[in-house]
Amino acid sequence: MKTLPLSLVDVISNIKRCEARHATQARHRLDSLTKPIGSLGRLETLAVQFFSIYPGNIPLPLRRGVYVFAADHGVVAEGVSAYPPEVTAQMVRNFLTGGAAINVLARLHEAELTVIDVGVDAEFTGTPGLECAKVRRGSRNMRREPALSHDEVTAAIEVGIRMAAKASEKGEHLVAVGEMGIGNTTSASAITCLVTRLPPGEVTGRGTGLDMAGKDRKLNIIRRSLQLHFEAAAAIPEPLEILRCVGGLEIAAMTGFILAAAAKRMAIVCDGFISTAAAAIAFQMAPEVQEYLFAGHCSDEPGHRHLLKHIGLTPILNLGMRLGEGTGAVLAMPVIESAVRLFTEMATFSAAGVSKANE
Amino acid sequence: MKTLPLSLVDVISNIKRCEARHATQARHRLDSLTKPIGSLGRLETLAVQFFSIYPGNIPLPLRRGVYVFAADHGVVAEGVSAYPPEVTAQMVRNFLTGGAAINVLARLHEAELTVIDVGVDAEFTGTPGLECAKVRRGSRNMRREPALSHDEVTAAIEVGIRMAAKASEKGEHLVAVGEMGIGNTTSASAITCLVTRLPPGEVTGRGTGLDMAGKDRKLNIIRRSLQLHFEAAAAIPEPLEILRCVGGLEIAAMTGFILAAAAKRMAIVCDGFISTAAAAIAFQMAPEVQEYLFAGHCSDEPGHRHLLKHIGLTPILNLGMRLGEGTGAVLAMPVIESAVRLFTEMATFSAAGVSKANE
């Protein structure tokens, strides 16, 4: 991948595989705790993964952050969304005044929220709390031309890398990625087709609420965009090419964030379809990133479960959510922390004087 | 049901159906919030149910409690558990010193834990924090005789009613029921057969970790117990008869707790297979109780999903847990509170100046 910018090469070279011996050590400890073997189910897997990320030294309480990247998509000109494009900017303002779903969940579950304008098609003035990192006012219409230039893609990735560095400086241990961008399920669907090799019909959904005619229109736009940019592609195209042709600025930024957060050995929670599309691109660049990823939930968008399977992630929650903004990721944080706390705080059979199972 | 004690008749007569207009009102509000219609998935159903329980006046922050009822089971003499019976008392001590899974989760999720000895086969001395309400030292062996007398069943139910009154006095809004009792999946399996009319083979699992031979033995004991007590039963036997013949003291107490908590209009979270068996008995006595019940999770015990379906409950979490103690119920509390907070705290489209979907 000769086209990777130097900052990204550096980040990727710093992503280390977790060591198998730490997983073994974690399983050993789980089996010594006062509970039937395996009875914590998925919580045990989560604890093993977390212990492997923070071997021998799980930091408690877990400092939590959620990073919501916002950008617009030129492809909305094709009528692929149930909502008008100005909703991206309106929702960013809603995030800043605390009225959106992610604000409520971030407050309740004590995740510090950062909202990043990486490409909203509006100018924000007098909006304290917004990270201004606009690369351009929205991507281009991928149905007609590449959504982004190579330089725009790398600039957006670098925004994500900078945000992960901030998370690390703040001492965060558990970070969620989320997004806002009217039209971005169209981009995520195209990405899903390219990385999973599945046809558009299997991965495309109704987004925020298209009717059947709208969904057919969206499907057609995805097909034509893929034809335009990747007609002759025999293998999975290079990740930066995917982002350039059918990506989005918030998706590129999340890709950079995920890679850099993994390089800093943070536990990263993916949210829904869009953030998992970014994770799939990150996974393509550096498969080791998978060991740092948790899937907060499985959304109702049909492409999401295919992406999760592709990366090898099992969702923690299955609540039929399809909201984005990082909501499903933050909602999974108390479950992840529960797993970690059980692992670290439960008594062992010997310490508590409890008899083990009959042999 | 002429055999119901007066206190229970009184409790049941106080369980009121929720009003449909409050559910309608809640759905209306959900659709006015800054999110695509229906995009919060199951969280929306949870919010509607919660608002129906506390119409127009959801108390925040939600005060949470978890009540763990402990008792022994005479049927363990038949070799139906992987653990020796003294583990019930040992785990009660573990609860009191804070080392069990439920202690960790109750601390993390701020649910006040109450441990109730309703029938442990041990004497506790010098154990502050334990609610002593022992009816007898364990039930009898249901394979040979009725597990309990009629008076013992009603005494245990009254323990549960008293605990729900305490929860109400403490101002708790969201209460979980859990249990500890070596051998109690055998009792819960027999109850499940009686209320769902399914054969033992479909509802019986490996409990805390029986091997295949152990599971066969357990299955055989359940079959013989049902034959002994209910051979000629054409319909579902009366709930008190089920509890008397194949129940347990903690199960009877949880039944009383659930009914009384519903009468006090509290939101009640069921845990795993055993507490849901108690909920099924409560449901048989008063079907309205269903409107106050939340299913925290679906456990790995095969009978659990049948019971949930029978009562009409959809589990919030599906994490393959099978620990009991109220752990799955307390783990679902942050999800329930998330639903309630989103419902009460999110901005509306008009207040936030966000455009609605295109018509």
In-domain check, residue B251: yes
Give pLDDT, residue A1: 47
Give pLDDT, residue B125: 86
pTM: predicted TM-score of the whole model, two decimal places: 0.97
Averaged pLDDT, B297-305: 96
Q: What pLDDT digit, counting tens, does each position of B62-83 carry?
A: 999 999 999 999 999 999 999 9
Which residue is listed with tokens 């093993």? A48
For residue A104, the distance in angstroms to the closest alpha carbon of chain B comes to: 6
What range defines the domain where residue B213 resides?
Answer: 62-338
Q: What pLDDT digit, counting tens, does each position of B143-187 carry?
A: 999 999 999 999 999 999 999 999 999 999 999 999 999 999 999
In-domain check, residue B51: no
Q: What pLDDT digit, counting tens, does each position of A237-274 carry?
A: 999 999 999 999 999 999 999 999 999 999 999 999 99
pLDDT > 70? residue B3: no
State the number of CA atoms in the 13 A half-sphere of B66 facing the CB. Answer: 34
In-domain check, residue A182: yes
B187: helix, strand or coil: helix
Q: Which residues contact A145 (CB under 8 A, 6 or more apart)?
A: none
B99:A37 CB<8 A? no
For residue A285, the distance in angstroms to the closest alpha carbon of chain B comes to: 31
The Cα A158–Cα A172 span in angstroms is 19
Confidence of residue B33 (pLDDT cuts 50, 70, 90): very high
Interface contact B209, partner A, CB < 8 A: yes
Give pLDDT, residue B6: 81
Q: What pLDDT digit, counting tens, does each position of A319-334 carry?
A: 999 999 999 999 999 9
**CA B271 from centroid of its chain's CA atoms:** 5
In-domain check, residue A113: yes
Give pLDDT, residue A125: 86
Edge to edge, the sheet with strand B130-132 lists: B130-132, B111-119, B64-71, B174-180, B267-270, B293-297, B315-317
pLDDT > 70? residue A24: yes
Over pLDDT 90: what percentage of chain B?
A: 92
How many domains does chain A divide into?
1
A41:B101 CB<8 A? no
Residue A325 designated active-site? yes
Radius of gyration of chain B (CA): 20
> Which residues on A lie below 8 Å from B37 (Cβ)?
209
Give pLDDT, residue B92: 97
Interface contact A42, partner B, CB < 8 A: yes
- From the list B355, B318, B148, B141, the residue with the least C-alpha distance to B249 is B148
8 A C-beta contact, residue A195 and residue A281: yes
* Pick from A119-128, A169-178, B221-230: least confident: A119-128
> Which among B34, B321, B335 has the least Cβ separation from residue A43?
B321
Across chain B, mean pLDDT equals: 95
pLDDT > 80? residue B123: yes
pLDDT > 70? residue B2: no
Give pLDDT, residue B359: 56
Averaged pLDDT, B261-290: 98
Buried b (16+ CB within 10 A) or exposed e, B54-71: bbeebeeebbbbbbbbbb
Q: Give the residue on A whose Cα is nearest the Cα of B331.
A: A335
In-domain check, residue B79: yes
Averaged pLDDT, B196-202: 96
In-domain check, residue A25: no
pLDDT > 70? residue B297: yes
pLDDT > 80? residue B358: no
pLDDT > 70? residue A2: no
Edge to edge, the sheet with strand A174-180 lists: A130-132, A111-119, A64-71, A174-180, A267-270, A293-297, A315-317
> Which among B39, B108, B334 has the least Cβ separation from residue A208?
B39
Decide: residue B238, CB within 10 A, 0-12 exposed, 13-18 middle, 19+ buried: middle
Interface contact A61, partner B, CB < 8 A: no
The Cα A172–Cα A182 span in angstroms is 29
Instruction: Supply the DSSP string of A55-103, one letter for each residue.
Output: TT---SSPPEEEEEEEE--GGGGGS--SS-TTHHHHHHHHHHHT-SHHH
> Which among A41, A99, A353 has the least Cβ separation from residue B347?
A99
Interface contact B77, partner A, CB < 8 A: no
CATH of the domain at B90: 3.40.50.10210
In-domain check, residue A346: no
For residue B319, the distance in angstroms to the closest alpha carbon of chain A comes to: 5
Averaged pLDDT, A26-35: 97
Which residue is listed with tokens 């379906």? B309
Give pLDDT, residue B231: 86
For residue B113, the distance in angstroms to the closest alpha carbon of chain A comes to: 16
Averaged pLDDT, B35-50: 97
- Kindly report the backbone phi and psi dihedral angles of residue A132, in degrees, each rounded to the nearest multiple of 5, phi listed first: -90, 110
Among A104, A184, A298, most B C-beta atoms within 10 A, so best to mutate, is A104
What ipTM was estimated for this complex?
0.96
Give pLDDT, residue A57: 87
In-domain check, residue B180: yes
Chain A window 90-149: which residues touch B at a Cβ cutoff of 8 Å?
Answer: 90-91, 93-94, 97, 99-101, 103-105, 107-109
pLDDT > 90? residue A126: no
Give pLDDT, residue B132: 96
Among B355, B356, B359, most A C-beta atoms within 10 A, so best to mutate, is B355
pLDDT > 50? residue B208: yes
Over pLDDT 70: what percentage of chain A?
A: 99
Over pLDDT 70: what percentage of chain B?
A: 99
8 A C-beta contact, residue B311 and residue B276: yes
Q: How many other C-beta atoms are found inside a 10 Å radius of the C-beta of residue B24? A: 12
- Of these ranges, B116-130, B204-218, B241-255, the one predicted with the greatest mean pLDDT is B241-255
Q: Which of B169, B325, B345, B359 is an active site residue?
A: B325
Give pLDDT, residue A240: 96
Interface contact B4, partner A, CB < 8 A: no
In order of A300, B139, B239, B306, the CA distances from B224 in angstroms are 46, 17, 20, 21
Averaged pLDDT, B312-333: 97
pLDDT > 70? residue B110: yes
For residue A209, the distance in angstroms to the closest alpha carbon of chain B comes to: 7
State the number of CA atoms in the 13 A half-sphere of B78 facing the CB. Answer: 26
Q: What pLDDT digit, counting tens, does each position of A345-356 carry?
A: 999 999 999 998
- Kindly report the backbone phi and psi dihedral angles of residue B113, in degrees, each rounded to the nearest multiple of 5, phi listed first: -95, 130
Q: Give the residue on A whose Cα is nearest the Cα of B316.
A: A319
DSSP 8-class letter at B286: -
